[in-house]
Structure 1
């Protein structure tokens, strides 16, 4: 298994292109099973289901007014937000290696990885949804109880006939900005949302930086999977830069500048 830990991309289009490129490479056999850990570029990620809601166009406008371009991601769940205080991780495998496992088993794997990495940072957390959270799901990672706790990580999956991916977004800092943009997005979509549900490692009392948290996840991936660090090659980067615009929401004003 490979371990990819690239630097943050300046443009979220490249970030989305990179995530898509790695998934496609694993699916085609060009790349082995891979753990990817990537600091986030500023954006809001929404789903195809979100795009069918009546308030979607307004949600895109609200997000962009806050400076967060909107992208459509391949995994399920609901709207998420990311910026310099967050990072994403994913465990991508060929379907031939992973197809026999259940959806629940993949969620459990990702949650176990998160909790072990948090343990390295001295952060106490548990699996479970919190009330009126963003991207609601019973495999969220929370700090505190289900009523008044806060979400630290959202986990989602993508499954195709050729590959599987499970991973999520880890909130380290900057939760106020994320809560503000998510509040506007969820209001436009007419979906429940509690701003206090947006947590961060800093809100738990942790002093860990984003880079320190990325390092904890990378160390856990090495321990669990024997993942071998690999550099991001030019061919993959070129694909990421040339294809990322495809993930922009159709209603995005950024699309015209791609």
Structure 2
């Protein structure tokens, strides 16, 4: 298994990593903190209020991006954690549920280790609602998956701190999109009383299943 290091990911980087994983038949993990931005989903871009939502995000000092997959807007403060596990696969039609379950359990184990009792599910009217989430009073983690020929990536967002700032910007954004959202539904490791400073290394260890993966820089792929 490889631990990926490097700067912010662009869509083409994800494609390159998936191709590398498939070609080398080797899993990889990555944990990083994207810059301050709101990332809109494909569903958001079809809404009449999308342009207004983009303007509102900018008014809060957030850059905006659009991802090619479904789902709703997610906000990163610059400290919000993104993570991903890339795995080689033989059949794109199988294993989706198992990968979601395994990643959810590993992330929950990491949160438990830093003092957060996260459990599956999410509060009502939370950001980027989906079946695969973790909560502790508020939503802490949301997961998504992408499958290609030969490789799959199961990834997610973990709110470290700054839940109030995320709630404020998404309240305006979701209002423009006419999507229900409760700012108080945003949780964080800090809000749950967890050890914020221990999250990144603990999460890396959990995603690597306790192994010590060798480091691979993105520029080498």
Q: 2:71 aligns with which of 77, 83, 98?
A: 77
Runs of 4 or more, structure 1, over 6 Å off, are: none
What are the superposed Cα offsets for residues 101-122 of structure 1, whole Å, 9 maximum, x if unpaired? 3432222112111111112112
- Per residue, is there more strand in 1 or in 2? 2
Structure 1's 88 and 193: CA in aligned 2 closer, same or farther, altered over 3 A?
same
- 8 A contact 2:115–2:193 mirrored in 1: no
Q: Unaligned 5+ residue runs, structure 1? A: 145-149, 237-258
Query: How far apart, in 1, do the equivalents of 2:68 and 2:3 lie?
Result: 21
Structure 1's 228 and 204: CA in aligned 2 closer, same or farther, altered over 3 A?
same
Query: How far apart, in 1, do the equivalents of 2:59 and 2:15 lie?
Result: 26
Query: How do residues 155-234 of structure 1 correspond to structure 2 at under 5 angstroms?
Result: 155-209=143-197, 212-224=198-210, 226=211, 228-234=213-219
Q: Secondary structure at the match of 2:3?
A: strand
Which is further off, 170-179 or 86-95? 86-95
Query: How do residues 1-258 of structure 1 correspond to structure 2 at under 5 angstroms?
Result: 1-6=1-6, 9=7, 14-17=8-11, 18-27=13-22, 29=23, 32-96=26-90, 99=92, 101-144=94-137, 150-209=138-197, 212-224=198-210, 226=211, 228-236=213-221
Query: How far apart, in 2, do the equivalents of 1:215 and 1:101 lie?
Result: 30
Structure 1's 179 and 64: CA in aligned 2 closer, same or farther, altered over 3 A?
same
Query: How far apart, in 2, do the equivalents of 1:107 and 1:142 lie?
Result: 16
How far the C-alpha of 1:227 sits from its partner, in A, is: 5.5
Matched residue count: 220
Q: Secondary structure at the match of 1:182?
A: helix
Query: How far apart, in 1, do the equivalents of 2:105 and 2:174 lie?
Result: 29
Query: How far apart, in 1, do the equivalents of 2:28 and 2:159 lie?
Result: 22
Q: Which residue of 2 aligns with 1:252?
A: none
How far the C-alpha of 1:205 sits from its partner, in A, is: 1.2
- 8 A contact 1:62–1:185 mirrored in 2: yes
What are the superposed Cα offsets for residues 119-163 of structure 1, whole Å, 9 maximum, x if unpaired? 21121110002100001012210003xxxxx00011111122342
Q: Unaligned 5+ residue runs, structure 2? A: none
Query: How far apart, in 2, do the equivalents of 1:152 and 1:61 lie?
Result: 26
- 8 A contact 1:75–1:157 mirrored in 2: no
Query: How far apart, in 1, do the equivalents of 2:190 and 2:105 lie?
Result: 21
Structure 1's 117 and 207: CA in aligned 2 closer, same or farther, altered over 3 A?
closer
Q: Secondary structure at the match of 2:145?
A: strand
- Per residue, is there more helix in 1 or in 2? 1
